[in-house]
Amino acid sequence: MMRVTNSMIVKRTKTNINANRAKVDHTNNQMSIQKKITKPSDNPIIAIRALRLRSTLSTITQYYDNNIPDTESWMECTQTAMINMKDLITDAKKQAIYGTNDPLQPENREAILKELQSLQQQIYSEGNADYDQRTIFTGYKTNQNVTFMNTAEAKAEHYKITETFDYKQIEDKEYYKGRFDDTSNTTILGDPNANPPIPPADIPVFDDVQLNRLRLAYDNITADQNSLSVTVTDRTTGVKSTITMSADGKTFGVDGCTFEMGMDTSVTPNVPVINVTPPSGYTAVPAQFGNLANGSYTTQLYKTSDYDFTTTPPTALPGITAEPPKSASVNYSSTAPELSGTVNGQTLVYKVRDTADLRKNGYDVADNEIVFDNASGELIFTDKTAEIFDAGKATFSFTYDKNGFAEGELHPEYFFNCTRYMSERDDIVYENFDENGEWITQAIKYNIANGQQMQINTEARDVFDTNIRRDITELIDVVQYAISANKIVDELEEKVKNANPADLEQLNKWLDAAKKQRDYANQNMHDTYSAYIDKFQGYLDDINLGITNLGGRQARVELTKNRMSVQKSTFKELKSMNEDMDLSDLVINYTAASVSYQAALQAAAKIGKMTLLDFI
């Protein structure tokens, strides 16, 4: 039997008291924080699971409380802007419908004009909508606007722009010749008392001309800084061929081979020469010499690595299968002088003119010409040329300089490959299409759930067609022309009413011409506005599609939001079950620990009074 001493009893009593006190402290801390553990060592399993649950809950909270609301707000701003844009185009369509009514009184045309002018200024304004000071339609460039915001800014901008078209975008267009708006007495009757006498002007012969066009996104283009490339498929061989024509008519490219008109200044008088730049990897050898006089120039293109050029003609290098030489040729005009090429059997000449010149000469576009009206921003050609393009399934690439824009016009970098010229820094190049001609998207995506991203933005080109403003401008021009033509008839009728008998014959001839112009202007307004009803409906369809696509994404965000709400509640509950304790259990545990501690103290007090003799 082991002897139990007083020191052993005291030591064991102290140990029991400390253990009970520690338990009281632990349950007291649990009551304070209402958690199962106060440090990881209390229960490593609970601690590890708590870390995982807290991390997951924090992530879910970030998605639910921040990312998803930001996504919803951005999309709501986008939806509002698109709905406003839809309303504006609906108004434009209503004006087009209104403009087809017959007869229209002068005040009706004036009302249409004012409404269209207002729409012209507002039509793209919704593109500058922003969310949290970030524009929502500008892709990654959220610190910029879709349109030019003021006249000073717009006029100062200078871009080189490349637009692409295909043969399906070729439109029929009526142009008019013999148009007039000068009804002064001097013009109509002349002035025999002037020195020298002024004869009466020729009576206008009004008529319309049916042509085809491709219309650019902008008008008022720099005349001499542009080039046109046309790619066609040969009707018989199926081989594609690309020709490139310069604005001055002195440079012509055929499948990468460039011909440039120049002058040989080493002889007197100077004679025209054609300089040839072959495509990369090829050497150009003239197929014939001294042939400028007969109106054509041909060169053979030899693959440089396959031929020996010390011989005439070049001979293939031994031991290889040489690529056969290719022929490239252009036509030469000694009167311009200018270069032209042949496409599917049709010789094409590219010329630059402006609207005033075309009107003056009655839109005299020849069958072999592609005329660029730099004032209106149109490529114009005849039906015969359009048939060539249609048969060859032509595609077009037009590069031009646009120096100075109008307030409210679209920034080209959101729609085309272009270069923005800068005065105090390097020029900015915008490459928006890849080598296959596919748009390089600038989708902004938010993480709205674990492993789930959502595109929040809609790009400008998806809803803001560059043709909308141009169409409204044409409607304005048409109604202005109708207003002017009707006023001219009214003015001439007033002149006839108050005229001298000697002037009646001349005035009546002018009045007949004016009535013909008026009738055409009224009919042209009716026909143009009727055709544009479908155009504006097409724009509405595109915007409705954009709104539908946005609505689909909003619905997916809403579904994700509901799921994240459930997950947030679930993980909150799991976290609570893992970490938290019920207050009633804590009170019971604390009370039990406290009672045990008090009992231990009382027992120790009694034991401290005893000696060994009390146990003997």
Res 616 pLDDT > 60: no
- In the prediction, which pLDDT does 5 show? 62
- In the prediction, which pLDDT does 517 show? 93
| pTM (2 d.p.) | 0.84
What number of CA atoms fall less than 13 Å from residue 328's CA on the CB side? 28
Res 298 pLDDT > 90: no
Res 122 pLDDT > 70: yes
Res 580 pLDDT > 70: no
Length of the chain: 616
3-state secondary structure of 37: coil
Res 512 pLDDT > 50: yes
- In the prediction, which pLDDT does 612 show? 56
Mean pLDDT of 38-45: 80
CB proximity list for 469: less than 8 A, separation 6 or greater: 120, 123, 124, 408, 409, 410
Mean pLDDT of 28-56: 78
Q: pLDDT band at 614, cuts 50/70/90? A: low
Q: What residues pair up with 229 in beta bridges, in sequence order?
A: 244, 397
Res 552 pLDDT > 90: yes
The secondary structure element, H or E, covering residue 17 is: helix 6-33
Give the start-to-end residue ranges of the domains of the chain: 587-615
CA pseudo-torsion sign 191, 196, 199, 202 = negative
The secondary structure element, H or E, covering residue 576 is: helix 504-579
Residues 223/247, Cβ–Cβ less than 8 Å: yes
CB-CB neighbours of 572 under 10 Å: 14
Mean pLDDT of 394-403: 95
Between 28-42, 140-154, 303-317, 318-332, the lowest mean confidence (pLDDT) is in: 28-42
Res 555 pLDDT > 90: yes
The secondary structure element, H or E, covering residue 121 is: helix 106-122
> For all residues of the chain together, what is the average pLDDT?
88
Percent of the chain topping pLDDT 90: 59
- In the prediction, which pLDDT does 290 show? 46
Between 34-48, 207-221, 344-358, 558-572, the lowest mean confidence (pLDDT) is in: 34-48
Res 458 pLDDT > 80: yes
Between 41-50, 117-126, 220-229, 409-418, the lowest mean confidence (pLDDT) is in: 41-50
- In the prediction, which pLDDT does 289 show? 47
Q: pLDDT band at 241, cuts 50/70/90? A: confident
- In the prediction, which pLDDT does 292 show? 63
Tokens linked to 567: 């997950």
Mean pLDDT of 191-195: 85
CB proximity list for 388: less than 8 A, separation 6 or greater: 232, 343, 344, 345, 346, 394
| Residue that the structure tokens 């009184």 belong to | 105
Q: At what angle do helices 467-497 and 106-122 cross, to 10 degrees?
A: 150
Strand ranges in 334-442 using DSSP code E only, listed in sequence order: 338-343, 346-353, 369-373, 378-381, 395-403, 417-420, 428-430
- In the prediction, which pLDDT does 550 show? 95
Task: Pick the closest to residue 326 from 297, 303, 292, 346 (CA basis).
Answer: 303
For residues 57 and 22, the model is more confident at 57
- In the prediction, which pLDDT does 531 show? 93
- In the prediction, which pLDDT does 578 show? 81
Tokens linked to 294: 């007969």
Secondary structure (DSSP) of 209-262: EEEEEEE-S-SS--TTSEEEEEEEE-TTT--EEEEEEETTSSEEEETTEEEEEE
pLDDT in tens, 1-29: 556 666 776 677 777 777 777 777 777 66
Is the N-terminal amide bond of 204 cis, ω within 30° of 0? no
pLDDT in tens, 78-98: 999 999 999 999 999 999 999
Strand ranges in 304-440 using DSSP code E only, listed in sequence order: 307-308, 315-316, 326-333, 338-343, 346-353, 369-373, 378-381, 395-403, 417-420, 428-430
The secondary structure element, H or E, covering residue 22 is: helix 6-33
Secondary structure (DSSP) of 106-168: HHHHHHHHHHHHHHHHHTTGGGG-EETTEESSSTT-TTS-SB--SHHHHHH-EEEEEEEEEGG
Mean pLDDT of 183-206: 88
Percent of the chain topping pLDDT 70: 92
- In the prediction, which pLDDT does 215 show? 97
Mean pLDDT of 478-507: 92
